[in-house]
Amino acid sequence: MALYDYDLFVIGGGSGGVRAARMSSGYGAKVAIAEEYRWGGTCVIRGCIPKKLLVYASHVREEIADAAGFGWSIEEAHFSWPKLIENKDKEIARLSRIYVDLLLKSKVQVMEARARVVDPHTVELDGKPVTARHILIATGGHPERPPIPGIEHSITSNEAFHLPHLPKRVAVVGGGYIALEFAGIFNGLGAKAHLLYRGEPVLRGFDDDVRKFVSAEIKKKGIDLRTRTEVEAIEKMDGTLRIKLKGGETLEVDQVLYATGRVPNTRDLGLEAAGVAVNRKGAVEVDGHSKSSVENIYAIGDCTDRLNLTPVAIKEAMAFADTVFGGKPWAMDHENVPHAVFCQPPIATVGMTEGDARSDGRRLDIYKAEFKPLKHTLSGSTERTFMKLVVDRGSQVVLGVHMVGADAPEIIQSLAVAVKMGATKAQFDQTVALHPTAAEEFVTMRTPEPEKVAEAAMPATA
């Protein structure tokens, strides 16, 4: 008779949890997985996928305007927010069903219920105890809003995907990637978008040149970017929302979206009672192999608050399954992970920022390029592209690659391979350019910035 009901019990049906369950089952483990809401997690249901679909929609207005420079005349274009949301919902439902189908085909027992940890080997579902040799926490995270007066009148990115109509005036509060993306979506679809951020410039943690460049570009597109701006209260009056800003100024809008941070979904999960250590933010504390303070309980993805990216959660899941059930131990490498921000224009980056490299005591060669893309020589758009290479002066290894401009995420994905392999600037230079493309600039930069300019660059503290 088996000592436990399952070899592995996974809590959370997002990308990381589903991948871990499927791979572990493939190694012969008896696996069950529980999800209390919808299969697919943040990325599929209320994150990456629906957001990118809305980003595509928000590009169309500019594309119609650009078309005139290429001889096209497009008359009487109309946009329907309800139709966009309806089509988005259909696609999300399709993807969610695929997740369930993949689990069933992998012989994983699927349970639609809230699961709580009772002890190191027991999980409770709707009052029924289930035992497992190993437990994996993959519950993700959720948006958090500050406790200011009137915060109940605001929404988060979760609710933004289900608004019944497109608001005419929107205030997005925050300066991270979610805030920039939604400001771009609303602005592109025709709303008046205000972006309110208490720091300066936006996108703390990104390269300073990228931060300054994208700030200027989104302003050119009509987004009202206000830095060093704090919201003190929100009042609902006569069908509109009045935002009180620190300093006495007010702003009237139809919708307020908060994108000021996310926290792990670990509350009331029973982790502390089972002996699992969490930090003050609620993130599960894990080692390099995603093992918690309890020997047989692991955690991956956003609930660990390491790098909150879907592909990272999937990699962590693969490392977990290979290590625990596959007999092929390895640890996820969180260095040189590429990032993308689907604002307008988009941002993509991999490796070290200039500020981080200098703080690390490195002497650097900095290469930059800024230009008008070929497309916009006819479109009439003033949008520009920015590229940057951060190179270690002694070894000439490319430490970081940064880009703001059309197709940046597609371009940086390939360059992430080179950075991960430790490519040098000489190897970039030896690569033949693909012409005419924006990407060719990364292999044709020849002159580094003058020393005095480069050495003066310091990381922003906001």
* Residues marked as catalytic: 435
**8 Å CB contact between 135 and 54:** no
Q: In terms of Cα–Cα distance, which of 398, 389, 409 is closest to 347?
A: 409
Residue 449: DSSP 8-state: P
Q: Give the integer Cα–Cα distance in Å for 302 and 263.
A: 8
**Helix 208-220 vs helix 177-188: crossing angle, to nearest 10:** 20
**Helix, strand and coil percent figures for the chain, each rounded to 5:** 35, 25, 40
Please confirm whether the linkage preceding 436 is cis (ω < 30° from 0): yes
Cα→Cα distances 241→22, 153, 184, 232, 250, Å: 47, 8, 21, 13, 10
Tokens of 419: 């950075």
Calculate ∠ Cα 201-204-206, nearest 5°: 100
Q: Give the integer Cα–Cα distance in Å for 197 and 194.
A: 10
At a CB cut-off of 8 Å and minimum separation 6, what does 408 contact? 340, 345, 346, 347, 348
User: Residue 314's beta-bridge partner residues?
Assistant: none
**8 Å CB contact between 437 and 375:** no
Phi, psi of 66 (to 5 degrees): -65, -30
Tokens of 142: 């959720």
